[in-house]
Amino acid sequence: MMRAGPSQEEIRRHNLGTLLRYIHLHGPTSRTVLADRLGLNRSTIMALTAELTGAGLVREKLPSETGRAGRPSLVVRPESTRFYVLAFDVGVDRLAAARVGLGGVILDRREAVRERNGFDLDEVVATLAGFARQMLRKADADTVCVGAGAAFCGVVRRGDGLVRFGPNIGQTEVPFGAALTRELDLGMTVSVANDANLGALAEHQRGIGTRCQDLIYLHGDVGIGGGIIVGGRLLGGEGGYGGEVGHMVVNPRGRACGCGSAGCLEAEVGERALLSAAGREMSEDLIGRDAIRAIVDAAERGDVLARDALHRVGDWLGFGVSNLVNIFNPEMVIFGGILREIYLSSAAQVRSRLKTNTMAAAREGLRLRTSDLGDDATLVGAAELAFTEVLTNPLEVLTRAVAAG
Amino acid sequence: MPATPVLELRRLNKSFGPVQVLHDVSFSAEAGEVTALVGDNGAGKSTLVKCIGGIHPIDSGDYLFEGAPVHVNSPRDAAGLGVEIVYQDLALADNLDIVQNMFLGRERKRGLVLDEATMEEMAAKTLTGLSVRTVHSVRQQVSSLSGGQRQTVAIAKAVLWNSKVVVLDEPTAALGVAQTQQVLELVRRLADKGLAVVLISHNLNDVFAVSDRIAALYLGRMAAQVRTSDVTHAQVVELITSGRSGELGLANGDGLNGVKA
Q: Is residue A205 one of the residues assigned to a domain?
A: no
Domains detected in chain B? 1-82+163-174+190-261 (3.40.50.300), 91-162 (no CATH)
Mean pLDDT throughout A317-326?
97
A363-374, pLDDT tens digit by residue?
999 999 999 999
Are B181 and A350 within 8 A, CB to CB? no
Are A51 and A179 found together in one domain? Answer: no
Mean pLDDT throughout A13-27?
94
- Which one is predicted more confidently, B182 or A69? B182
Asked if A203 and A373 count as a contact pair (C-beta separation under 8 A), the reply is yes
Domain boundary among A24, A48, A78: A78
Are A246 and A218 found together in one domain? Answer: yes
Q: Is residue A3 one of the residues assigned to a domain?
A: no
Alpha carbon distance B90, B151 (integer Å): 7
Q: Is residue A145 one of the residues assigned to a domain?
A: yes
For A341-367, the DSSP string reads: HHHHHHHHHHHHHHHHHS-HHHHTT-E
Q: Output the pLDDT for position B259.
A: 41
Chain B residues close to A351, C-beta within 8 Å: 208, 228-229, 232-233
A367: β partners = A332
Is the CB of residue B131 less than 8 Å away from at least one CB of chain A? yes
Q: Is residue A2 one of the residues assigned to a domain?
A: no
Alpha carbon distance B169, B202 (integer Å): 10
Mean pLDDT throughout A263-281?
90
The mean pLDDT value of chain A amounts to: 92
Q: Is residue A394 one of the residues assigned to a domain?
A: yes
A62-112, pLDDT tens digit by residue?
887 656 677 778 899 999 999 999 999 999 889 999 999 999 999 999 999
B138-174, pLDDT tens digit by residue?
888 888 888 888 888 888 888 887 889 999 999 988 7
Are A193 and A92 found together in one domain? Answer: yes
Are A116 and A217 found together in one domain? Answer: no
Q: Output the pLDDT for position B110.
A: 82
Chain A residues close to B180, C-beta within 8 Å: 344
Is A391's pLDDT higher than 60? yes
Are A244 and A145 found together in one domain? Answer: no
Measured CA distances, A234 to A85, A161, A327, B1 (Å): 21, 17, 16, 34
Q: Output the pLDDT for position B69.
A: 96
Query: Distance of alpha carbon B129 from its chain centroid, rounded?
Result: 20
Q: What percent of chain B has pLDDT over 90?
A: 56
Is B261's pLDDT higher than 50? no
Alpha carbon distance B92, A368 (integer Å): 32
Q: What is the CATH number of the domain that holds A109?
A: 3.30.420.40
Q: Domain of residue A181: give its range.
A: 83-197+378-404
Are A33 and A146 found together in one domain? Answer: no
Q: What percent of chain A has pLDDT over 70?
A: 97
Domain boundary among A78, A101, A127: A78
Mean pLDDT throughout B207-234?
96
Are A219 and A351 found together in one domain? Answer: yes
The answer for B105, left when phi > 0, alpha when psi is -120 to 50, beta otherwise, is: left
ipTM: 0.89
Q: Output the pLDDT for position B258.
A: 41
Are B209 and A347 within 8 A, CB to CB? yes
Nearest-CA distance A340 → chain B (Å): 9
The mean pLDDT value of chain B amounts to: 89
Q: Output the pLDDT for position B253.
A: 47
Are B205 and A300 within 8 A, CB to CB? no
Q: Is residue A256 one of the residues assigned to a domain?
A: yes
- Which one is predicted more confidently, B137 or A197? A197
Q: What is the CATH number of the domain that holds A52?
A: 1.10.10.10
Are A87 and A50 found together in one domain? Answer: no
Mean pLDDT throughout A216-240?
94
Mean pLDDT throughout A164-184?
91
Question: Which of B177, B207, B228 lies at the smallest CB-CB distance from A300?
Answer: B177
- Which one is predicted more confidently, B221 or B125? B221
Are A221 and A352 found together in one domain? Answer: yes
Q: Output the pLDDT for position A255.
A: 94
Q: Where are the alpha helices (DSSP H) in A120-169?
A: 121-138
Are A174 and A289 found together in one domain? Answer: no
Q: Is residue A347 one of the residues assigned to a domain?
A: yes
Q: What percent of chain A has pLDDT over 90?
A: 76
Question: Which of B208, B231, B232 lies at the smallest CB-CB distance from A347?
Answer: B208
Is A114's pLDDT higher than 60? yes
Are A349 and A291 found together in one domain? Answer: yes
Is B99's pLDDT higher than 50? yes
pLDDT band, residue A303 (cuts 50/70/90)? very high
User: Which residue out of A295, A322, A344 would a mutagenesis test of the B interface target, given it has the greatest number of B Cβ atoms within 10 Å?
Assistant: A344
Q: Output the pLDDT for position A7.
A: 87
Is A403's pLDDT higher than 60? yes
Residues 205-224 of B with CB under 8 A from A: 205-210
Q: Is residue A202 one of the residues assigned to a domain?
A: no
Residues in chain B: 261
Is A6's pLDDT higher than 90? no
Is B82's pLDDT higher than 90? yes
Q: Output the pLDDT for position B2.
A: 63
- Which one is predicted more confidently, B1 or A189? A189
Q: Output the pLDDT for position B152.
A: 86
Alpha carbon distance A282, B249 (integer Å): 45
Task: Determine which of A124-133, A168-177, B187-196 has the lowest per-residue pLDDT on average.
Answer: A168-177
- With CA atoms as reference, report the closest residue to B96 among B45, B53, B47, B153: B153
Asked if A145 and A97 count as a contact pair (C-beta separation under 8 A), the reply is no
Are A264 and A247 found together in one domain? Answer: yes
Task: Determine which of A249-263, A279-293, B2-16 has the lowest per-residue pLDDT on average.
Answer: A279-293
pLDDT band, residue A310 (cuts 50/70/90)? very high
Half-sphere exposure of residue A188, counting CA atoms within 13 Å on the CB side? 25
Mean pLDDT throughout A393-401?
89
Domain count across chain A: 3
Are A354 and B229 within 8 A, CB to CB? yes
Q: Output the pLDDT for position A67.
A: 62
Is A284's pLDDT higher than 70? no
